[in-house]
């Protein structure tokens, strides 16, 4: 675990001189065939020339597309495709304003590789198929990503509002009995973690019960990053081939060096040179991915690192990491339960009788660990409790 806790908890150095280099795409991208734990077979003959959006791997409607124009070589030893760029780097969007039937909508999103970035492993078409769309059902346009690193709401509202309105109208015509709750065109309040958690957002903003399981058949939840790629696909014919990547920098004093930087990075980009530059110029040796609230692996800069847009959306750099992961003894401050956003009472996990812990309410947001002054890691305790196995008290 890192020596810092959360970017929402420590100070921000707005005058930081730390310069985050721009990730540079090299001429050899590596695309793996793993799609959320599922192995996809290669499509077509290799080597061959490919264009952005061309299918490289596919099983059913699950597919991984080429992020560049170039020559594709299949590596049998690694079950991956190596791409050498020999054409334009950027995809040329082709604007089309049109109406869609339900089948046309799903087909186009599947063909362009659009999936949910709110629920791992789900295609948008799959979420739509399981959505009941009956009386009392809702479609939600959420303004917040899970971690709040990137402001997709502003991108949608300032640059793509007509397209958001058009997509909203399409859904209203398809799901006639459902209410579309649009928090994109309505100005949202300031983000506070875990506002981007779908279960939490639905209960807090939509007057819905805190569901144990999510996604739920009565709710079609579309976060802002998912919406962004839906809009890009439907109205600009842009396939899902790259993703926004935020980079945050935390120094050893627990101060965030400036606001998070945001880059668009193509799937399969080798970020090794990016990290080496940071190490040489700033002596930052460690980084983690995606979350500063939940336990994530800590990497030491030096090894090769390939950007996989199904796995990575944020990088957090750090000067140091904790010298030890051994927690202290609970001092009964009760901060873990006090700061729990859904009153799940995680403090009860440290007692012999753990029945007070509301495991069905728990979001697994990580705030109980973040606020613990003696660094008790509640992650494993919560996981074990939810599996209904015995957890021994910390004493």
Judge whether 272 and 302 are in contact, CB under 8 Å: no
Residue 4 lies in a domain: no
> pLDDT at residue 324 above 80?
no
The boundaries of the domain holding residue 68 are 29-85
Rounded to the nearest 10 degrees, how much is the dihedral formed by the CA atoms of 287, 292, 295, 299?
0
Residue 277 lies in a domain: yes
**Top-confidence residue, 14 or 122:** 122
User: Residue 83: what are its φ and ψ, rounded to 5°?
Assistant: -115, 125
- Same domain flag for 223 and 200: yes
Residue 283 lies in a domain: yes
Judge whether 130 and 217 are in contact, CB under 8 Å: yes
Residue 349's pLDDT band (boundaries 50, 70, 90)? Answer: very high
- Same domain flag for 120 and 228: yes
Residue 16's pLDDT band (boundaries 50, 70, 90)? Answer: low
* pLDDT of 230: 98
* Gap between the Cα atoms of 372 and 333, Å rounded: 9
- Same domain flag for 212 and 309: no
115 DSSP assignment: B
* pLDDT of 325: 57
Spacing of C-alpha 305 from chain mean position? 18
Residue 96 lies in a domain: no
- Same domain flag for 277 and 346: no
> pLDDT at residue 4 above 60?
no
Q: 317 pairs with which residues across the strands?
A: 249, 287
Q: Could you tell me which of 263, 261, 266 has the C-alpha nearest to residue 247? A: 261
- Same domain flag for 107 and 232: yes
31 DSSP assignment: E
- Same domain flag for 77 and 147: no
Residue 254 lies in a domain: yes
> pLDDT at residue 9 above 80?
no
Orientation of helix 224-236 relative to helix 152-159, angle to 10°: 40
- Same domain flag for 267 and 201: no
> What is each CA distance from 164 to 88, 91, 99, 167, 345, in whole angstroms?
29, 21, 13, 5, 39
**Top-confidence residue, 13 or 178:** 178
> pLDDT at residue 378 above 60?
yes
Give this prediction's pTM: 0.90
Secondary structure in 3-state letters for 337-381:
HHCCCCCCCHHHHHCCCCCCCCCCCCCCCCHHHHHCCCCCCHHHH
> What is each CA distance from 185 to 148, 165, 190, 392, in whole angstroms?
18, 8, 15, 48
Mean pLDDT of 199-203: 95
For the chain, percent helix, then strand, then coil, each to nearest 5? 25, 20, 55
- Same domain flag for 112 and 228: yes
* pLDDT of 92: 84
The lowest-confidence range among 84-93, 259-268, 270-279, 383-392 is 383-392
In tens, the pLDDT along 45-85 reads 999 999 999 999 999 999 999 999 999 999 999 899 999 99
- Same domain flag for 164 and 211: yes
Residue 6 lies in a domain: no
> pLDDT at residue 393 above 60?
no
- Same domain flag for 162 and 261: no
Mean pLDDT of 285-310: 88
Q: Domain of 304: which CATH number?
A: 3.10.20
Q: Helices (DSSP H) in 206-349: which residue ranges?
A: 224-236, 272-282, 335-338
Which contiguous run of DSSP H or E holds residue 383?
Answer: helix 378-386
* pLDDT of 14: 58
Work out how many domains the chain is built from and give that number: 4
Residue 233 exposed, middle or buried by CB count within 10 Å (0-12, 13-18, 19+): buried
* Averaged pLDDT of the chain: 88
Residue 394 lies in a domain: no
Residue 90 lies in a domain: no
Place of tokens 């495709």: 81
> What is each CA distance from 217 to 104, 131, 136, 206, 372, in whole angstroms?
22, 5, 11, 15, 36
* pLDDT of 65: 97
Q: Which of 236, 254, 272 is the last residue of a domain?
A: 236
């Amino acid at each position: 675990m890192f020596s810092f806790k959360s970017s929402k908890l420590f100070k921000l150095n707005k005058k930081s001189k730390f310069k985050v280099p721009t990730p540079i795409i090299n001429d050899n991208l590596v695309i793996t065939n793993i799609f959320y734990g599922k192995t996809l077979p290669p499509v077509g003959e290799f080597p061959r020339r490919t264009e952005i959006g061309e299918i490289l791997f596919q099983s059913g409607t699950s597919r991984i597309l080429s992020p560049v124009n170039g020559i594709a070589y299949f590596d049998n030893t690694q079950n991956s495709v190596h791409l050498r760029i020999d054409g334009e780097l950027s995809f040329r969007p082709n604007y089309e304003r049109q109406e869609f039937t339900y089948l046309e909508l799903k087909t186009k999103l599947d063909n362009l590789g659009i999936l949910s970035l709110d629920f791992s492993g789900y295609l948008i078409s799959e979420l739509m198929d399981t959505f009941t769309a009956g009386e009392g059902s809702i479609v939600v346009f959420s303004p917040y990503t899970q971690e709040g690193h990137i402001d997709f709401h502003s991108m949608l509202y300032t640059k793509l509002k007509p397209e958001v309105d058009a997509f909203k109208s399409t859904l209203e015509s398809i799901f006639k009995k459902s209410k579309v709750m649009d928090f994109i065109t309505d100005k949202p309040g300031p983000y506070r973690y875990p506002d981007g958690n779908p279960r939490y957002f639905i209960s807090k903003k939509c007057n819905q019960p805190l569901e144990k399981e999510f996604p739920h058949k009565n709710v079609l939840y579309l976060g802002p990053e998912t919406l962004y790629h839906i809009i890009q696909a439907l109205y600009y014919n842009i396939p899902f081939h790259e993703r926004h990547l935020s980079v945050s920098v935390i120094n050893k004093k627990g101060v965030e060096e400036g606001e998070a930087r945001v880059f668009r990075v193509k799937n399969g980009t080798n970020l090794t040179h990016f990290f080496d530059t940071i190490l040489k110029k700033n002596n930052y040796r460690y980084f983690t991915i995606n979350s500063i609230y939940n336990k994530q692996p800590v990497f030491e800069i030096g090894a090769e690192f390939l950007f996989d847009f199904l796995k990575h959306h944020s990088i957090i750099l750090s000067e140091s990491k904790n010298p030890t992961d051994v927690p202290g003894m609970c001092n009964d401050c009760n901060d873990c339960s006090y700061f729990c956003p859904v009153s799940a009472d995680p403090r009860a996990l440290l007692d012999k009788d753990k029945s007070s812990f509301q495991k069905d309410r728990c979001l697994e947001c990580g705030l109980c660990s973040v606020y613990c002054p003696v660094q008790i890691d509640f992650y494993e305790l919560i996981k074990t409790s939810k599996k209904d196995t015995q957890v021994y008290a910390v004493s």
